[in-house]
Amino acid sequence: MNFDTKLLHGKSVKPYADGATLPPVSQVSAFQFESAEKHAAVFSHKAMGYAYTRVGNPTVSAFEQRINELEGGGGAAACSSGMAAVALSLLNMLSSGDEIIACSGLYGGTIGLFDDFKNFGIRTRFVKELTPETIEPLINEKTRVIYGEVIGNPGLDVMDIQSVAETAHAHGLPLVVDNTTATPYLVNLISLGADIVVHSSSKYINGGGNSISGVIVDSTHFRWDEKRYPALAPFKRYGPMAYLVRIRTDLGENLGCCLAPANAYMNIVGMETMGLRMERICSNAQKLAEALEKLPGISRVCYPGLEEHPCRSIVEKQFRGRGGGILTFRAGSKEKAFRILDALKCVVIASNIGDLRTLAIHPSSTIFIHNTEEQKEAAGVFEDTVRVSVGIENPEDLIEDFTQAVKQADQ
């Protein structure tokens, strides 16, 4: 099936009770059993079933199965937020003394998380962009994972997944990639070699800006060495499923960062239109970026779909020429950036991305407020940077709105 058809009729879209086209919301904390023996068997993971929603829930499972099918994985685990997904995806394999190699152009919250990892003895070595040439010199006996975002947020650098995956695998390392900004609509990361895919599903997957959530998809292709990854050693008997089983029955269960059933349901409702939304969003972003390039009063428009973007060749190869839904520009000063934002009429000032609505933000004073100036610059965030998450409005209206806002800001 093609993407849009799979969203509605894929193998994971099961016949639901009473002929419903969507799964019921199992908004419960616990599930009753006919006997203590059956309860004990499910609770100890010796039998299939649901015992407690922190451990598993049928509505959440329905969401996990749909995302897993889209990404082509071996299994998925949903979390309470995108940040929970990032943290759990890495802590599930890492131990004190381990090192991560990551791109410096990450979302500010992820950079902050990696700072927190220092308290657990886990160090991150940053490179400006993830390429075989930048990764190779940093790999040592402590390196355990390569981590990046397929499209950096808000730096908008684009990772060549296949080449980075080949380098990681040549050294026996897994590649973990955040696919929030591209989504499986633009690229199937697992088919290109990614081992673990994470999403903040609050964004383009949900689409409506109504539910916080995250999800981890395991390709189940990576073979975990129990000596290099001692946290996974007790799960060796599960073979390639060791990573996912530990999340399911150990770390994810103990951390308690479970997804609420109602949020899982809202994600399912939203993701059924993801293909249509992404098609319109990418088209709008391209048109808006091209218009902003010509608009006097702003400079340095950055969008992966523009011809002069340094990653344009990767965009052509990896995303079939589509640049995603995020762009940035520089206003000249923080004060002018604020004046532009304040003058917008149909663009919403908000910190989310992937909404139906076009959202704009000043990253330096908001989502990167806790990062150092060095970290901001490495991520492509400056005092005059404005990030725009393009929505599904008529592109002519968006162009007109930014045009009048810039004119007002210059008066």
Please report the pLDDT score of residue 234 as a whole number.
96
From edge to edge, which strands make up the β-sheet containing 75-79?
Answer: 75-79, 214-218, 196-199, 175-178, 143-149, 99-103, 123-127
Residues 28 and 239: their CA atoms lie apart, in Å, by 33
Nearest Cα residue to 228 out of 91, 136, 135, 94: 94
**How many DSSP H helices and E strands does the chain contain?**
16, 12
Q: pLDDT of 231-249, one tens digit each? A: 999 999 999 999 999 999 9
Please report the pLDDT score of residue 45 as a whole number.
83
Please report the pLDDT score of residue 378 as a whole number.
84
Q: Where are the domains positioned within the chain? A: 3-270, 274-410
DSSP class of residue 30? B
- 192 contact partners, CB below 8 Å, separation of at least 6: 161, 162, 165, 318
For residue 355, name the pLDDT band (cuts at 50, 70, 90): very high
C-alpha distances (whole Å) from 238 to each of 71, 219, 229, 373 are: 22, 14, 14, 45
Average pLDDT over residues 244-270: 96
Please report the pLDDT score of residue 67 as a whole number.
98
Query: What is the pairing mode between strands 326-330 and 75-79?
Result: unpaired
pTM: 0.95
**Phi and psi at residue 112, to the nearest 5°:** -60, -40
The answer on pLDDT for 379 being more than 90 is no
Q: Identify the architecture of domain 3-270 in CATH.
A: 3-Layer(aba) Sandwich (3.40)
Please report the pLDDT score of residue 211 as a whole number.
97
Angle at which helix 261-271 crosses helix 58-71, to 10 degrees, equals: 40
CB atoms closer than 10 angstroms to residue 280: 19
Residues 281 and 277: their CA atoms lie apart, in Å, by 6
Judged by DSSP in three states, 409 sits in helix
Please report the pLDDT score of residue 328 as a whole number.
96
Please report the pLDDT score of residue 299 as a whole number.
86
What does pLDDT average to over the chain? Answer: 96
Residues 196 and 176: their CA atoms lie apart, in Å, by 5
Q: pLDDT of 138-197, one tens digit each? A: 999 999 999 999 999 888 999 999 999 999 999 999 999 999 999 999 999 999 999 999
Nearest-5° Cα angle at 304, 298 to 385: 35
**Phi and psi at residue 349, to the nearest 5°:** -80, 110
C-alpha distances (whole Å) from 372 to each of 236, 376, 378 are: 40, 6, 10
Check: CB of residue 238 under 8 Å from CB of residue 245. Answer: yes
Please report the pLDDT score of residue 41 as a whole number.
94
Share of the chain above pLDDT 70, in %: 100
Residues 43 and 328: their CA atoms lie apart, in Å, by 49
C-alpha distances (whole Å) from 120 to each of 108, 113, 225, 249, 285 are: 20, 11, 21, 22, 40
Residues 188 and 202: their CA atoms lie apart, in Å, by 19
CATH code assigned to 274-410: 3.90.1150.10
More confident of the two residues 155 and 209:
209
Return the structure tokens found at 29. Answer: 């904390």
The answer on pLDDT for 301 being more than 90 is yes
